[in-house]
Structure 1
Amino acid sequence: MPSFLRWSDSAITYDRSDHPEYVPHLGRCPLIIDPIVGTKLLTKVLMDGGSGLNIMYSEILDAKGLDRTCIWPSGTPFHGIVLGKQAVSIGQIDLRVTFGDCSNFRTETLTFEVVDFDRAYHTILGRPCYAKFMAIPNYTYIKLKMPGPRGIITVSTSFQHAYLCDVGNCECAATVVVSGELAYIRRDVV
């Protein structure tokens, strides 16, 4: 007899009722959402289905007043966050993440790798988040759906907000590349 996950009987579908009035640049906008993490609303959270990690930036942890004493050491190395380099987290932290609104919401505890480098987003939620919430993204409509206690929870953003976050991410990446090139040049000059 199979052991079914809670809410696994909820069908998640996308149809014309999800379609925005206009879809600019089909598939180019990132899925940016605004969940509650801990007790704080974060407005620039990247949903990255290609990432095997949930990432919290130490600067955001501090800025939002989230408790650093709950970080435990991990030393987990990973790739693909800092261009061409291996990154190592300063530790892990468990934080409650809430999607939805007062009429239908869902909260789960997620483990985050805490990193100490530049960022354009408040946090990145990867496959562990998708799996825990049984969430299904739609990058055409830039929406995320998941089962909740009162039916399907739909989380979305505007194309303008997604675009502005993407521009910020590109600027942050360019800064990191330039600073890395400057460090390399300075090392060769000395």
Structure 2
Amino acid sequence: MEPPFKQRWTNQDMFFNEEDARGIRQPHNDPLVITLTIKWFNTKRILVDNGSSADIMYLPAFQQLKLDPGRLRPFDSPIFSLNGDRVYPKGMVMLKVTVGTYTKQLTHQLDFLVVDCPSSYNVIIGRPTLNRWKAATFTYYLKVKFPTEDGVGEVKGDQVLARECYQEVLATNENHTWTIEEEKEDKVEALEAVELVEGETAKMTRIGTTLSPEMRTKLIQFFKENLDVFAWSHKDMPGISRQVIQHELNVDPGRKPIKQRRRLFSPERSQAITDEVNKLL
């Protein structure tokens, strides 16, 4: 029995040939810059970047679309550029995006990280969206192709605009390939010491170094407002029942204690033993 239509179209063959190169000035090394419909607006200067692990919208584009800042959802993890720059996004926003032309087009709700830093581009489409579109990109032909219910859709890059953007990128030394740091189970996060009582170095705690500045400030303020829950020494824990925990020697109380002869050590070892005993005391 023939499979349903919606199962067939996702497996359409997508190929490129010399017809796709029509109108492209060769040779070239231009980036793939396209136009998409975002929230019913034709948005230009959109870079298709297979190296980016995030979909990015720069703050000026967010403002030009007249989006309410209240729509931003918190996003506390930093993103990193190729040269190691770390930026904390303003937040994440979900927007309706259409790619292609009727009837061979796709419309999805996509999540964008809103970033406040200079850029020649308005938006960067990275691997999350390209994978969702099941898209194939070809920089030689400056074209993106993707399967739809009505056949293979496509969107062609704007070579003139791509060169303008690229010249601006070179002039300002911009970074436009961003990655989100992936969490690893065996990764140990670096910590920083935070003094909770000014002038008292013994009263401090440690917090993670990857927190956003805003979250770091709020966390430290929270600790300072709740100093009474910290136990800096045994004196801060009076009244604890021995039923909770206590240390004891695993010996037979019916046996008479035997004092061993004192052992003699070299001066270096003797000093080391004394230092360790003083630490325990």
2:139 aligns to what? 139
- How many Å separate the matches in 2 of 1:78 and 1:102? 35
- How many Å separate the matches in 1 of 2:78 and 2:130? 22
- Conserved? CA contact 1:23–1:140, under 8 Å: no
1:34 aligns to what? 35
- How many Å separate the matches in 1 of 2:115 and 2:24? 37
Aligned residues: 169
TM-score, normalising length: structure 2: 0.56
Gaps of 5+ in 1: 175-190
Give the AA of the match of 1:161. Answer: L
2:13 aligns to what? 11
* Deviation (angstroms), 1:56: 0.7
Q: 1:72 to 1:140 in 2, by over 3 A?
A: same
1:24 to 10, 23, 26: 26
3-state SS, counterpart of residue 160 of structure 1: helix
Equivalent residues in 2 for 1:86-165, closer than 5 Å: 86-165=86-165
Q: Share of identical aligned residues, percent? A: 25
Q: Compare relative contact order (CA 8 Å, sep 6+) and give the higher one, 1 or 2.
A: 1
- How many Å separate the matches in 2 of 1:121 and 1:74? 22
CA RMSD between the two structures: 2.0
* Deviation (angstroms), 1:6: 8.0
Select the structure that is richer in strand: 1
- How many Å separate the matches in 2 of 1:65 and 1:166? 27
Q: 1:158 to 1:33 in 2, by over 3 A?
A: closer
3-state SS, counterpart of residue 44 of structure 2: coil
Give the AA of the match of 2:88. Answer: V
TM-score, normalising length: structure 1: 0.81
1:171 aligns to what? 171
Question: Which stretch of structure 1 is more off in the superposition, 128-137 or 72-81?
Answer: 72-81
- Conserved? CA contact 1:48–1:126, under 8 Å: yes
Gaps of 5+ in 2: 1-5, 175-281
2:48 aligns to what? 47
* Deviation (angstroms), 1:34: 0.1
